[in-house]
Structure 1
Amino acid sequence: MRAVGIEDGTGPAEALRLIEVADPVPAPGEVLIRVAAAGVNRPDLLQRTGLYPPPPGTSPILGLEVAGTVTALGDGVDRWRVGDRVCALLGGGGYADLATVDARHALPVPDDLDLIQAAGLPETVLTVFANVFEAGALKPGETLLIHGATSGIGVTAIQMAKAHGARVIATSRGAAKTDAARALGADVSLDATVGDLAIGIRDAGGTDVILDMVGAAYARLNQGALNAGGRWVVIGTQSGPMAEIDLTRLMLKRQVLTGSTLRSRSADEKARLVAQVQDRIWPWVVEGRVRPPVDATFPLADAKDAHLRLEAGVHVGKILLTLD
């Protein structure tokens, strides 16, 4: 089958190459998916540069989410049938014609949703659920602050929070992105390149939960923005991992600081999350309330261009690779 490889193992986007590799075979408990599209995510960029190696036993091929059609079943799989349309969370292997995945990590694609858009759901929806709904314990009526609100994660978080009955403050860079976040449902949309974000967030009433992909540069801002009992959830450190926080303020305002990654979790934990998402979030997907916009699609052979677009940070929504 075709797959995307990295020349010399790591390197810039230009190191991505289309290669031929053996077709994967589903192990017991796995399904084989004929991939229609694969999501392009920031962890793919980190893995390509050697900063985020795949967990032991995981495919070294890039790609953490796909959508497609089940073409074969491993022993013991009774949840799916050949021909089912699914999207799935992978530990790796998505940038390829075929991918194997734990059958418990797949979700059904609604009849009215095309497989290309569906490929942008698993990694983002599960990340938002695990971090905003579980770790952040967002409640209806509370306020969620999202930094990087027009990223794939950000647009999904806006839609999920609004479907949950929460209020959303979004930050992004530039008027076009600010308008896009507002169009997706953000109650307050702030341009990080204009004015003082701290004042804008304060004037909007502060926040109860923060979804933070920025890291060090926003640490002081985030801690000051939290209301009493607020939860600050870190899922990325684009501006650096080392930050200074005020422990006295943390105690006095009963603040919670936490963070997580999704890829390193056990297969059983991912299965638990998928089951929770199917029960609690998937009805919103079926109803069309959670459908992250597609920013751009690229053929598998043009994975380099997809990575360059993600690195440039100009996208609004998901970037996807498509396969014929």
Structure 2
Amino acid sequence: MTVQSPALPRMMTAIGFTEPGGPEVLVPQQRPVPAPGPGQLLVKVAVAGVNRPDVLQRQGGYAPPKGASDIPGLEFSGTVVALGEGVVRYGVGDRVCGLVAGGGYAEYAVVHEDNALPIPAGFSDEEAGAVPETYFTVWTNVFQRGRLAAGETFLVHGGSSGIGTTAIQLAKAFGATVIATAGSRDKCEACLALGADHAINYREADFVAGVQAATQGHGADLILDMVGGDYVDRNYEAAAESGRIVQIAFLNGAKASANFARLMMKRLTHTGSTLRPRTVAEKAVIARELEEKVWPLFALGRCKPQIHARFPLAQAAEAHALMESSSHIGKIVLTV
């Protein structure tokens, strides 16, 4: 039996587009308020995070998985207003943040209760809405797949991005030495302020040489890369023996020419993953580990999402334009 708040509306405002294109194709639309299915929560959205996959979807390059909402948006925070059959953890009125495969840019959204988390103590809706996508991504790729351990050296490209600012804080909190690359002096300073031990301006210096200098020739034990292209071969150069490279995006292209002899001689591991198509059960494992190991760090103030800008929901186009400019440091969010 579904449990819900009284007088829920039938229609809501959401952001959609009728054909792929630039930021201007994103427009407010009237959509039916979704109904929560078994195990799902209906959430009145307060804040939705803006992420690179949303931009790719708008451009026509990253369609939502089968069965997911075509409304952009992979994360949000808000208040539970209805419960699907079988929900056991949450009740109407609870404040949650959630990871979804689509649907976040809207006044209401559904999320499976196993992919929702309680808003961290002391966090605003804005801060909580900027947590799920980057923290799920960093946790599964840096700690589950990348096996980052205390005392190791961690290199993160795009250190001033939402993913990068998250990765810097988490890697430092778990005892790693952190090297970040970024594209300006201001962005490098922001990375250092968040805890990076070294920041390399890739427009002014070769990051391979910078990593070797910072590690006295040892190299990086783990590299988190969202660039791809010619960075693939250069990552092999920058990596330590038995190092790991985890690929999460290809901003410079998904095809590369690399010296694979270096991969063999150094005994490197090059892996990667996507988050959006993974099952509810797979994402639930990440959620449980985050609540156990990262939520206490929030309470101690050792990690916090970095909010660069916020826009009203109706100005999603402006938010995407800012994302594409790459001038931001941290997260961009939409307030609903």
| TM-score bin (small chain) | over 0.9
- Partners of 1:13 and 1:185 in 2: CA distance: 33
Residue by residue, what CA displacement relative to the aligned partner does 1:141-162 show, whole Å, maximum 9, x if unpaired?
A: 1011010000000000000001
- Secondary structure at the counterpart of residue 159 of structure 2: coil
Offset at residue 110 of structure 1 (A) = 2.1
Matched, 1:227 2:240: yes
- Partners of 1:237 and 1:56 in 2: CA distance: 23
Structure 1 residue runs without a partner (length 5+): none
CA contact (8 A) 2:97 2:132 kept: yes
TM-score, with length taken from structure 2: 0.94
- Partners of 2:109 and 2:64 in 1: CA distance: 15
- Partners of 2:264 and 2:255 in 1: CA distance: 20
Matched, 1:259 2:269: no
Offset at residue 49 of structure 1 (A) = 1.0
Offset at residue 238 of structure 1 (A) = 0.3
Match for residue 244 of structure 1? 257
Name whichever of 268-277 and 40-49 sits farther off: 268-277
Offset at residue 91 of structure 1 (A) = 0.7
- Secondary structure at the counterpart of residue 291 of structure 1: coil
- Partners of 2:180 and 2:78 in 1: CA distance: 32
| Residue type at the aligned position of 1:167 | T
| Residue type at the aligned position of 1:128 | V
Q: How does 1:48-67 map to 2 (within 5 A)?
A: 48-67=58-77
Match for residue 304 of structure 1? 317
Q: Alignment partner for residue 285 of structure 1, among 281, 288, 298?
A: 298
Matched, 1:187 2:197: yes
Name whichever of 247-256 and 186-195 sits farther off: 247-256
- Partners of 2:277 and 2:320 in 1: CA distance: 22
- Partners of 1:134 and 1:229 in 2: CA distance: 17
CA contact (8 A) 2:230 2:257 kept: no
Match for residue 136 of structure 2? 126
- Partners of 2:43 and 2:227 in 1: CA distance: 34
- Partners of 2:193 and 2:158 in 1: CA distance: 15
Offset at residue 261 of structure 1 (A) = 0.4
Match for residue 4 of structure 1? 15
Offset at residue 248 of structure 1 (A) = 2.0
- Secondary structure at the counterpart of residue 216 of structure 1: coil
| Residue type at the aligned position of 1:66 | F
Residue by residue, what CA displacement relative to the aligned partner does 1:88-123 show, whole Å, maximum 9, x if unpaired?
A: 001100000000011100011123110111111000
Percent identity over paired residues: 48
Offset at residue 249 of structure 1 (A) = 1.7
TM-score, with length taken from structure 1: 0.98
Residue by residue, what CA displacement relative to the aligned partner does 1:26-49 show, whole Å, maximum 9, x if unpaired?
A: 011000111000000000000001
- Secondary structure at the counterpart of residue 32 of structure 2: coil
Offset at residue 217 of structure 1 (A) = 2.4
| Residue type at the aligned position of 1:306 | A
Match for residue 145 of structure 2? 135
- Secondary structure at the counterpart of residue 62 of structure 2: coil
- Partners of 1:13 and 1:153 in 2: CA distance: 21
Match for residue 37 of structure 1? 47
Across the two proteins, how many residue pairs are aligned to each other? 322
Matched, 1:79 2:92: no
- Partners of 1:103 and 1:9 in 2: CA distance: 32
- Partners of 2:16 and 2:208 in 1: CA distance: 43
Q: Alignment partner for residue 283 of structure 2, among 252, 270, 275?
A: 270
Offset at residue 243 of structure 1 (A) = 1.2
Match for residue 96 of structure 1? 106
Matched, 1:207 2:217: no
Match for residue 115 of structure 2? 105
Structural RMSD (CA): 0.9
- Secondary structure at the counterpart of residue 125 of structure 1: helix
- Runs of 4+ aligned structure 1 residues displaced above 3 Å come to none
Matched, 1:313 2:326: yes
CA contact (8 A) 2:229 2:250 kept: yes
Offset at residue 220 of structure 1 (A) = 1.9
Structure 2 residue runs without a partner (length 5+): 1-11
Match for residue 8 of structure 2? none
